[in-house]
Structure 1
Amino acid sequence: MASIAMARPASFPHLRDLALTAYAPATWGTTYVVTTTLLPPGRPLLAATLRALPAGLILLAVTRRLPFGSWWWKSSVLALLNFGAFLPLLFFAAYRLPGGVAATLGSVQPLIVAMFSLAILNLRPTRAVLLSALAGTGGVALMTLTSAARIDPLGVAAMLVATSLMGLAVVLAKRWGRPDAPLLAVTGWQLTIGGLMIAPFMVLNEGLPDTVTAENVAGFVYLGVIGTAIAYALWNRGIGNLTPTSVSLLGLVNPLVATLAGIAFLSQTLTGWQTLGLAVALGALVAGQAGAQQSRKEK
């Protein structure tokens, strides 16, 4: 941990990159509250489709740019990893697992990204970053798990696969770089392709709801615009400007915000162990970013 103590203060551009990238997992942390309070129940594929496809089509209409050359297949691969496969698996896991179990499994993404980074980018994570990732998972477990948590094997498998797919997307996006196109256009490509992948399964398995309330519309608009279009644009920007492990460690913001949102809007309370877990996860996030910044300066 000595490298963390010796790390120089991060520059303003780096802190700005961290803050803008953290916006994405922060808004994703509000998804559970929005889903349970505003969206129609029992329609995970509808939620996934409307979260991705409308936002993607709007971005395409605004930017008026389509993929070109190899970015057709690269965008399709990233769309599958980030949306087409990730969102259905995520909602499948959410329906079969308690939120605490899902959050704990999702918090292992920094470790998965570290392994993919080593295999694909030949980037070896520092010991400080690995320890921070492990501590972050432990903090999230303390914060979200309860003795009554049930373990569903299919739900666990789905969540681990979903987490691995998104982690692979982070590393591949870093390897392929950013095309010569506006960031909103690149985000629109992935959202549209991913939404089109999910839409047929939604129609076949769930169909469209008979009625849509104003609350439903507000929930879909929030998730589509705030939690998807803007969030993924800033997430993609962060992938280009930060190291993969630094980006993935910001995923710890998700359960932190989800816990605080539950307290604010669902009348939930924190036990002593959960408060300790929140402090550990927050400390791991800060220490991990310091370690990642130090490693980046040494290279």
Structure 2
Amino acid sequence: MTHVSVRRGLLYVSIAATAWGTGGAAGALLYRAGGLGPVAVSFWRFAAGAMMLLLASHLFGRGRGSALGRITPDRLSGLGRTVITGVAMAVYQTAYFAAIAESGLAVATVVTIGATPVFVAAGARLLLRERLGAAGLGSVAIALIGLVMLTLDDGSATFSVPGVCWALVSAAGYAGVTLLNRASAGEPYSTAMGGFVVGGLCLLPVALAQGLLPESDPLSSSAIIVYLGAIPTALAYGLFFTGLATVRATTAAVISLVEPVGAALIGVFVLDERLTPQAVAGAVLLLFAVALLALSEKKGARPSA
């Protein structure tokens, strides 16, 4: 198990959330360059992420010799955690794409990302005995208001019951991964690699049905897949699971809300998009709430959580 300080754990989760913010843009470029469907993109993301971590484990000698040996309760527990993590990853990825298909990107993003810290906070209180207090709950509320202002700034929201339901399923899957790996943290990069393998196998049948190989521009598609697997997948999930060793589950979930802020900034500086004053105010509110909760985590964290 990797031991980190609370300060470093907060940094790792923040970097992970920032890296995730680039994943949407990379996925959109892959749709455009290779003509792949969303589930196929998720499959390649998991496959490339697993390959990156496997390569890193050989280069840096992480986990050498751990694959063989006696079967112990700890190893069985770790295997079970990895399998559940991978299945949950596949579920929340697929459910998120289904929510987008039913309700559009804006509503799917708000409901999925917004519901996640609520689910995590409830689960952390019931299962992990983590308490946020009034300041923490206020930070969560401010963050959700900022998320809505940032994401629904054009007034074009299209709500549908199936879309909202799929988004809630996605949020529940992500919350489950967060709570599980906060409750019983193992070696983070091994957990991430195993989760990618299991998740990729779950997505493979649907990806094959959609079309697994890029239809055009294989060189650009391959470069995007490498980036998608390396930064917003292998690096981000490894850091996120490492940070969960010391950062409260709800705090990690709220910090993850900066993902749409990063995506918005990429849209402005890379894709020449423009943010409305409402969206800017929402981003500021969201970042303020994240900073407030991070300060609270550093001041009030205890080794025994």
Residues 79-131 of structure 1 show CA distances to partners (whole Å, capped at 9, x for unaligned) of 111x2212112222234333332332213322211101112112232121111
Q: What displacement does 1:21 show?
A: 1.7
Q: What displacement does 1:292 show?
A: 3.1
TM-score relative to the length of structure 2:
0.85
RMSD between superposed Cα atoms in Å? 2.3
Q: What displacement does 1:15 show?
A: 3.0
Residues 226-280 of structure 1 show CA distances to partners (whole Å, capped at 9, x for unaligned) of 1101111001101112111221111121011011111112211122211211111
Most deviating of 224-233 and 94-103: 94-103
Instruction: Identify if the C-alpha distance between structure 1 residues 139 and 212 changes in structure 2 by more than 3 Å, giving closer, same or farther.
Output: same
Residue 177 in structure 1 maps to residue 182 in structure 2: no
Structure 2: distance between partners of 1:29 and 1:227: 8
Instruction: Identify if the C-alpha distance between structure 1 residues 134 and 22 changes in structure 2 by more than 3 Å, giving closer, same or farther.
Output: same
Matches within 5 A, 1:39-50: 39=31, 40-41=34-35, 43-50=37-44
Equivalent in 83, 93, 103 of residue 87 of structure 1: 93
Instruction: Identify if the C-alpha distance between structure 1 residues 128 and 205 changes in structure 2 by more than 3 Å, giving closer, same or farther.
Output: same
Instruction: Specify the SS of the correspondent of 1:70.
Output: helix
Question: Are 1:44 and 1:92, in contact at CA under 8 Å, matched by a contact in 2?
Answer: no
Q: What displacement does 1:171 show?
A: 1.1
Most deviating of 46-55 and 152-161: 152-161
TM-score relative to the length of structure 1:
0.87
Residue 116 in structure 1 maps to residue 142 in structure 2: no
Question: Are 1:60 and 1:66, in contact at CA under 8 Å, matched by a contact in 2?
Answer: no
Q: What displacement does 1:19 show?
A: 1.7
Query: Could you list the runs of 5+ residues in structure 1 that have no partner in the other structure?
Result: 1-11
Matches within 5 A, 1:1-299: 13-39=5-31, 40-41=34-35, 43-60=37-54, 62=58, 63=62, 65-66=66-67, 68-81=75-88, 83-105=89-111, 106-145=113-152, 146-178=154-186, 181=187, 183-297=188-302
Counterpart of 1:8 in structure 2 is none
Query: Could you list the runs of 5+ residues in structure 2 that have no partner in the other structure?
Result: 69-74
Give the letter aligned to residue 88 of structure 1.
T
Q: What displacement does 1:297 show?
A: 4.6
Aligned length in residues: 284
Question: Are 1:33 and 1:265, in contact at CA under 8 Å, matched by a contact in 2?
Answer: no
Question: Are 1:143 and 1:276, in contact at CA under 8 Å, matched by a contact in 2?
Answer: yes
Most deviating of 87-96 and 53-62: 53-62
Query: Structure 1: which 4+ aligned runs deviate by more than 4 Å?
Result: none
